[in-house]
Chain A
Amino acid sequence: MAAQSRSPRRGSPTLGEERVPQVTFVESLRMTLREEMERDPSLMLIGEDIGRYGSIFGVTKGLLEEFGSHRVRSTPISESAIIGSALGAAMTGIRTVAEIMYVDFTTCAMDQIVNQVAKMRYMSGGKAKIPLVIRTQGGGGRGNAAQHSQSLEALFLHIPGLKIVIPSTPYDARGLLKTAIRDDNPVMFIEHKLLYATKGSVPDGEYLIPFGQADIKRKGRDVTIAAISYMVVKALKAAERLAGEGIEAEVIDLRTLVPLDDEAILQSIRKTNRAVIVHEGCRRGGIGAEIAAHIQEEAFDYLDAPVERVGALNVPIPYSEPLEKAVIPDEEDITKAVKKVLYRN
Chain B
Amino acid sequence: MALSLDKEFCLRMYKQMLTIRMFEEKAIELFEHNLIRGNVHPCIGQEAVSVGVCSSLRRDDYMLNTHRGHGNCIAKGADLKLMMAELLGKATGYCKGKGGSMHIADFEGGNLGANGIVGGGIPIAVGAGISIQNRGTDQVVACFFGDGATNQGTFHESLNLAALWKLPVVFVCENNLYALSTPVREAISASRISDRAIAYGMPGISLNGNDVIEVYTKTKEAVQRARAGEGPTLLDCITYRFFGHFTGDPGRGITYRPKEEMDEWLNRCPIKQLKERLVQEKIMTEETGKEIEANVKTSIEEGVQFAKESPFPSADEAVQDVFFEMM
Contacts and interface: CB of A to CB of B under 8 A. Distances in A.
B153 interface: yes
Contacts, number: 149
A81 B126 contact: yes
Contacts of A71: 134
B14 interface: no
Contacts of A115: 116-117, 120
B131 A127 contact: no
Contacts of A73: 130, 165
Interface in A239-273: none
Interface residues of B, number: 46
B96 A81 contact: no
A188 interface: no
A121 B324 CA distance: 8
Interface in A115-134: 115-116, 120-130
A88 B95 contact: no
A88 B154 contact: no
A60 interface: no
B127 A84 contact: yes
Given A70-B134, A89-B127, A111-B117, A184 B154 contact: no
A167 B96 CA distance: 36
Interface stretch (A90-98, A289-297, A309-317): A90-98
B124 A85 contact: yes
B282 interface: no
Contact of B157 (A80, A92, A93, A122): A80
Given A80-B123, A81-B161, A85-B123, A163 B323 contact: yes
Contacts of B129: 85, 88
A78 interface: yes
Contacts of B62: 92
Interface in B82-97: 93-97
Contact of A112 (B123, B164, B324): B123
A129 B324 CA distance: 7
B140 to A, nearest CB: 12
Contacts of B229: none
Given A80-B153, A121-B324, A185-B323, A85 B97 contact: no
Interface of B: 62, 64, 93-99, 103, 105, 107, 112-113, 115-117, 120, 122-135, 153-154, 157-158, 160-161, 164-165, 320-324, 326
Top 4 nearest A-B pairs (CB, nearest first) are A88-B127, A84-B123, A125-B95, A126-B321
Given A83-B123, A88-B112, A125-B95, 16 more contacts: A44-B134, A76-B160, A81-B123, A85-B123, A88-B124, A92-B112, A94-B131, A94-B135, A122-B322, A123-B98, A123-B99, A123-B103, A124-B103, A127-B107, A129-B324, A160-B322
Interface of A: 42, 44, 46, 70-71, 73, 75-76, 78, 80-81, 83-94, 111-112, 115-116, 120-130, 160-161, 163, 183-185
23 contacts: A42-B135, A78-B160, A80-B154, A81-B126, A81-B157, A83-B123, A85-B126, A87-B123, A88-B125, A88-B128, A91-B127, A91-B128, A92-B62, A94-B130, A94-B135, A123-B95, A124-B95, A124-B98, A124-B99, A125-B94, A126-B96, A126-B324, A163-B323
